[in-house]
Amino acid sequence: MGDMSRWFNIAGPCIAAKHYMLPASERLPEVRSLIRKEQYFVVHAPRQCGKTTAFRALMDEINAKGDMAAMYCSVEAVQTWTDPDKAMIQLAAQIRLNLDLYPSIYGLGVKAEILKATKESLSSEIIIDTLKWLSERVNKPFVVFFDEVDCLERDVLIAFLRQLRNGRISCTAPNSFPVSMALIGLRNIRDYKMFIRPEGQSTGEASPFNVITKAMTISLFTEDEMRALYRQHTDETGQVFEEGALAKAWDYSRGQPWLVNALARWCVEEIHKEDFSKPVTAADMDEAKEALIRERGTHLDSLMEKAYDPRIKPIVEKMMVGETIDRDVQKENINYAIELGLLVDDHGTITPANPIYTETIGRYLTRGTQDTILSENKENVWVKDGRLDMPALMASFQDFWRENATPDSFVSQNFHEAYPHFVLQAFLQRVVNGGGQIIREMAIGRGRLDLGVVFGNEKYAVEVKTAALYAKSPEKAHEQILKYMDGLGVSEGWLVVADADVTKPWDGKISTTDMTFGSKTVHLVRC
Strand-pairing partners, residue 492, are 521
Q: How far apart are CA 104 and CA 48, in angstroms?
A: 30
Contact call for residues 177 and 193 (beta carbons, < 8 A): no
Q: How far apart are CA 57 and CA 15, in angstroms?
A: 8
Contact call for residues 127 and 163 (beta carbons, < 8 A): yes
pLDDT by 10s per residue, the chain, length 527: 455 579 999 988 888 889 999 887 778 888 989 999 999 999 888 877 888 888 988 998 898 898 999 999 999 888 888 898 889 988 888 887 777 666 566 554 555 555 555 555 555 688 998 899 888 888 889 999 999 888 888 888 888 988 998 999 888 888 899 999 999 987 776 565 555 554 444 444 445 456 677 878 888 899 999 999 999 999 999 999 999 999 999 999 999 999 999 999 999 999 999 999 999 999 999 999 989 988 877 788 887 788 788 888 888 877 876 767 777 768 888 888 888 888 888 877 888 889 998 888 877 776 666 666 544 444 456 777 777 888 988 988 888 888 776 655 544 455 556 677 777 887 787 777 657 788 888 777 666 778 888 888 889 999 888 888 888 889 998 999 999 999 899 999 999 998 877 677 777 788 999 999 999 999 999 98
SS3 assignment, position 271? helix
Backbone torsions φ then ψ of 112, nearest 5 degrees: -65, -45
Q: How far apart are CA 249 and CA 263, in angstroms?
A: 7
- Predicted pLDDT of residue 450: 84
- Predicted pLDDT of residue 136: 86
452: alpha, beta or left? (left if phi > 0; alpha if psi -120 to 50): beta
Backbone torsions φ then ψ of 346, nearest 5 degrees: -95, 90
- Predicted pLDDT of residue 196: 52
- Predicted pLDDT of residue 415: 57
- Beta strands 40-44 and 212-217 are parallel
466: alpha, beta or left? (left if phi > 0; alpha if psi -120 to 50): beta
- Predicted pLDDT of residue 205: 44
Q: How far apart are CA 209 and CA 297, in angstroms?
A: 36
Give the H or E element holding residue 472. Answer: helix 467-472
Q: Residues near 513 by Cβ (< 8 Å), separated by ≥ 6?
A: 523, 524, 526
